[in-house]
Structures are given as structure tokens and as C-alpha cells.
Amino acid sequence: MNQIEENSLVLIFKGQRLEPVSREKNMVGFCSRCEADLYSIAYHNTDDRWLVSAGCNNGHLFLLQYDRQWRWLQDGDLEMKKEVVRICDIAREKLEAVFTAAEIRDLAACQEGQPYTRQNLYRARAKYEKFERLFGIKIDL
């Protein structure tokens, strides 16, 4: 299955990681599942083809493939790959605005496979939505 990483828009195609050449949003056709307009998410290229990651407003994703002269080759399925944010990569000030010190410590311990207190994790999970709303960062363990 072809995948595109949620934030970076890196395409994983046949085991290769392809950085986007462009993130331009263009109408590229119609969704074959719901007939809504299909818009490009990112453009990628390989030695022999152009690849266009595309989606409709209903969340259906496709990988459109073209030869080097932009002649259509085929469409394929595409899946969004959620990127996991590591607690240690988030600014401490942001974490402290929502979570207690014990919750932060145990979130990090859980991500690193270390022992943690379950109750702190339960309390922290109840605050995930608030943290995402405030900072636009999705935490997933």
C-alpha cells in the first residue's frame, strides 16, 4: 500500500521515500468513490514517472501515476500515515501548559518503553484533545 506522511507529505512508494517536489493544490479530477472534486496534495517524481497524491473532501485518497510526458498510467490507493510525535521533541513550556510534571514524565517513559504509572497516563490521555486544540500537535502513544 502506498502511504503519504501526514505532516511532511513524504510519499512511500514501492519502499522508497519520496520528498514532495510541490505541495500545490490543483483540481486533478473526480473521486471514483463519491464523484466529488479531487485535489492534489503533493507532487512527487521518480526516474520514469510523476506521482500525484490526491484526495477529495470526503477523505478518499488516491495516487495518480503519469509517465514523464504527463500521460496517465494508472490510479492506485493511498493511505495517510500518521506521524508519531515524541514527547521529548515538544517544547517543555507547551507540555507544562496542559500536563502535570508526573504526566509528562510518564508519557515520555511510555514512549520509550520504560516503566510508568498508569494513572498518570490515563489523566494525560484525557487532556490530549485540549493539547491538540491549543498547539495543533497530536500526541499518540
Q: Which residues pair with 3 in a beta bridge?
A: 12, 79
Q: pLDDT > 70: what percent of the chain?
A: 99
pTM: 0.64
Report how far residue 127's alpha carbon sits from residue 31's, in angstroms, rounded to the nearest whole number.
Answer: 36
| 5-49 pLDDT, tens digit each | 988 899 999 989 999 999 999 999 999 999 999 999 999 999 999
Domain ranges of the chain: 2-81, 87-135
Kindly state the cell numbers that stand for 135: 498547539
Residue 136: pLDDT band (50, 70, 90) is confident
Report how far residue 97's alpha carbon sits from residue 82's, in angstroms, rounded to the nearest whole number.
Answer: 24
Predicted confidence at residue 1, as pLDDT, reads: 87
Report how far residue 58's alpha carbon sits from residue 68's, in angstroms, rounded to the nearest whole number.
Answer: 30
Query: Looking at the predicted structure, is the pLDDT value of residue 83 above 80?
Result: no
Task: Judge contact between 20 and 12, C-beta under 8 A.
Answer: no
Q: Residue 1's Cα: distance from chain center in Å?
A: 15
Task: Judge contact between 78 and 61, C-beta under 8 A.
Answer: yes
- For 112, left (φ over 0), alpha (ψ -120 to 50), or beta? alpha
